Structure 1
Amino acid sequence: MERRLFLAAALAGLAAAPHLAKAQQGKPSRTRWKVRASEGFDALAFLGPLAGRELYLRFYQADADAFAPRLPAAIRTDIAALWQEAETAGFGLLGPVLSVLFSGNDDSSLAALIASAADPEARLLSAYRASNNWSESDWAWFLSAAPRLKAVLEAMQAAGFAAFRAERTAGLDARIAELTRDLAAYDVISLHEKLTGRSFDPEIEVVLLQFCKPHGIKVQGQTFLQAADWNTAITVRNAAHEMLHPPVAMDGPAAKAALAVLEKDALIMRIVRDHDPQWGYTTLDGLLNEDLAQALDQLIGEALGVGRNPADRWRRSDDGIHVLAGAFYGMLRDDQWIETGGSLEAWLARTVETGRLAPARLHAVAARVLERPVTGLWPLIKS
């Protein structure tokens, strides 16, 4: 599913906010920021802790322990079963992927999600099919699971999830106002357009959630979900990343040519095949899509004064699997892409044609950026 759903873990940046530079001086901002909350998306995010997944319990163990006993035992069992079935079927991480599907309609409350789950073809299909997230296989799996998902959501509603969440989101309105004010200094859309050669809608919608760590989640349109307590720097970095998906047309000639070269790279294919699947990106096209977007968002973050050190960023993220991101970033830096910009698709095609994706050349650039030996790019040596 990761070729359509993109998760941006912000763990490496949670501890401290770097200096926040102002957006491009003297230019009118192209970016309009909208910040809001969502009970419905928070309910979907909370399925991870309720499923007992370690990735989420490290943040929400106490919350899961407090709420899970309110649910019938059969529902608790089925949440865990649905999560596992979704992964086994290739649907992906249950909560995040459901967020994509439900984002085509009202997400404001559990009641709204229940109504959509009761009649998904009338309430969700049209928007989902028209989005660049569309997957026939994912939709088929969702339809088969919709009655069970509806029962889970109804049980959460009956158990008082709305009040449970409200107790934990005190001050959220003030946080929305604060973040809306702070984000006005950052013109992300202008850099998106410059570095891809594409046009973007000027509005970025940020949905603040209580239960979504460690993910930032791109849903339909130019909307992404993130934790309410992540700072402004993380929010700008998430926006820089999430709006880029897909950075190029993944069914276009440039992406297909890149995939044809990369699938012969033993290291890259070992990363795709052998990394911990909890991070996603278990297909080559998913990893290419993600890592090209990460390379661009690193350039944007640096230009806006919120960038992290690249070697540190990619060492701490997802067990170091984003070797391609480091390589693409290094090549784009070598080409002074932040100054020139242009068609990213044409850039990728030239990169393939000139042999820069050949393993020896790609690995050398990645090693330089990631500050790792060429022979030790992945897996990382645990200290």
Structure 2
Amino acid sequence: MRFATFLLMLVALSAAAFAQRRVMPIDDLPPAVVEHHETRWDVRPSLKYDALCALNVLSGDPYYLKFYQADYDRLAPKFTPAEKAEFVALKRIIKDQNKGIISADLALILSVEPGDSLDDMLVALDKPNDIRERLKQTPYYSAPNFTEFMQVRPHAIAAIRALKRVGFDEDWSQHIRPQIMAKAPQIEKQLVQYNIVPLQEQVLGHALPDNRIEVDLLYYSQPHGIKITGTRFLTHFEYPFDIVLHNAVHEMMHPPYDLKSPATVQAIESLRHDAFLMDKVKHHDPSYGYNEFEGFVEEDCVQALEQTITQSMGMKEDEREYWRIQDGGMHVLAIALYELMQRERFMELRESFPHFLRRMVASGKLTNERLVQLNREFYAGR
């Protein structure tokens, strides 16, 4: 997500360094160390994150009404005009002005705080300094993005108070939670067959903070899968299992590289010169997210890793059709990286992804012309 990429802004590198693509030295990395050898799964519902996802819907955003028109029609009449204005304000600031996603942005920040009730969120929001200090202990903090959070904080407080006033939590407990609880055991039974953490650690080149993956099953989260702090992610309880598994593989790998590494930042920044890629960065539906260059590149890197790992686990699917329709076909860098991973025997050689990315850029295998060619060959099946 957008918050997972902003640390690039903290690296003080001159613009001149990126004026043209140039081959940079590639350091020899030690073999990836796999610290965890098993994956533990924790599948659960969450009122907290479902409420934050419902804010997308209650803003009246047509993008979400495609999925939740009936729920909007049921819930919206309960709110006063002033309360509805708070939902709209969240959309205006987070999505319209800052190109973010209400649910993803707020869920990521508030995931540093304990508790799962509306009251727990209100208590947390009343202590923004505590949130900031906890967020600083994660890879997802930056001063500009926390400034945005402080701007929306009064609207978030008002919105959650509105949810509490109309009994959203009771409605959720009565109508939503039972549906999720009925589905959770089936999903967990399928997930335990997959040991993904060692593979994730192998490709990332470092250990994950835990081998327990928390899967928060939600109702109001469509069409997103959302990474929050720790080894946790949010997904829809009725997604087909293969999507849930893909979400689990995908979300744990944000961010897929160390953004404090100047060599990695230089490799990423060199991609700004690729016209084919930048056309997709600048001209895609902003509702999909990834509206900043850094966030777009990070998402495509993780998508390529996701597809490579799931394929290595024996999952068979039509990846060409998937990327043709995924987010309007915008993930051209993911396709190029995936093609290169297959050709370079990425999983077999156990190369860490940061090293692989730098090597592909330095060798010229990821230039603009090659991006176009790799995409063409991918769809041609070669």
Q: Same fold (TM over 0.5)?
A: yes
Does the 8 Å CA contact 1:281/1:287 hold for their aligned counterparts? yes
Which consecutive unaligned segments of at least 5 residues does structure 2 have?
A: 7-35
Q: 1:287-302, aligned counterparts within 5 Å?
A: 287-302=296-311
Identical-residue share of aligned pairs (%):
31
Quick check: 1:228 aligned with 2:229?
no
Correspondence for 1:63 among 50, 66, 71:
71
**Does 2:267 align with 1:258?**
yes
TM-score normalized by structure 1?
A: 0.87
Counterparts of residues 80-95 of structure 1 (less than 5 Å): 80-90=88-98, 92-95=100-103
Distance 2:3 2:374 in 1: 25
How far is the alpha carbon of 1:142 from its aligned partner? 1.7
- Which residue identity lines up with residue 202 of structure 2 in the other structure? K
What residue identity is the alignment partner of 1:336?
R
**CA shift digits 1:127-183 (9 cap, x unpaired):** 211111112112112223322221211111110101222313324223222222221
Q: 1:370 to 1:256 in 2, by over 3 A?
A: farther
Structure 1 stretches of 4+ moved >4 Å: none
Assess if the C-alpha contact under 8 Å between 1:51 and 1:83 holds in 2. Answer: yes
Partner of 1:45: 53
* Correspondence list, 1:364-375, <5 A: 364-371=373-380
Aligned mates of 1:107, 1:38 — CA distance in 2? 10
- From 124, 136, 149, give the equivalent of 1:142: 149
Separation in 1, partners of 2:121, 2:221: 17
TM (norm. structure 2) is: 0.87
Q: Which amino acid is the alignment partner of residue 106 of structure 1?
A: P
Matched-pair contact (CA < 8 Å) for 2:250–2:303: yes
Counterpart code for 2:156: L
Measured against aligned partners, the alpha-carbon deviations of 1:31-79 in whole angstroms (never above 9, x if no partner) come to: 1111111111111000111011122111111001101111111111221
Which secondary structure state, in structure 2, belongs to the residue aligned with residue 130 of structure 1?
coil
1:4 is aligned to 2:4: yes
Q: Which residue of 1 aligns with 2:26?
A: none
Q: 186-195 or 170-179, which moves further after superposition? A: 170-179
- Structure 1 residue runs without a partner (length 5+): 7-27, 374-383
**Aligned position for 1:109:** 117
State how 1:67-78 maps to structure 2 within 5 Å: 67-78=75-86
Letter paired with 1:146:
R
Measured on the aligned residues, the alpha-carbon RMSD in Å equals 2.0
Q: Do the aligned partners of residues 120 and 73 (structure 1) sit closer, same or farther apart at CA in structure 2, a change above 3 Å counting?
A: same
Could you say which residue in structure 2 is the equivalent of 1:239?
248
CA contact (8 A) 1:250 1:285 kept: no
What's the offset of the Cα at 1:88? Answer: 4.1
Q: 1-side partners of 2:125 and 2:105: how far apart?
A: 14
- For residues 325 and 253 of structure 2, what CA distance do their matches in structure 1 show? 22
AA in 1 matched with 2:278: M
Change (3 A) 1:30 1:99: same
Partners of 1:243 and 1:150 in 2: CA distance = 29
Distance 1:205 1:307, change over 3 A: farther
Indicate if the aligned counterparts of 2:5 and 2:255 stay in contact, CA closer than 8 A.
Answer: no
**Separation in structure 2 between the aligned mates of residue 308 and residue 159 of structure 1, nearest angstrom:** 44
Q: Secondary structure at the match of 2:43?
A: strand
Q: CA deviation at 1:352?
A: 1.3
Out of 332, 337, 341, which is 2:341 matched to?
332
Q: Deviations over 1:195-249 (max 9, x none)?
A: 2222122111110111000000001111100111123221111111101111112
Counterpart in 2 of 1:133? 140
- Could you tell me which residue of structure 2 aligns to residue 350 of structure 1? 359
Alignment size in residue pairs: 351
Counterpart residue type for residue 218 of structure 2: L
Shift of 1:258: 2.4
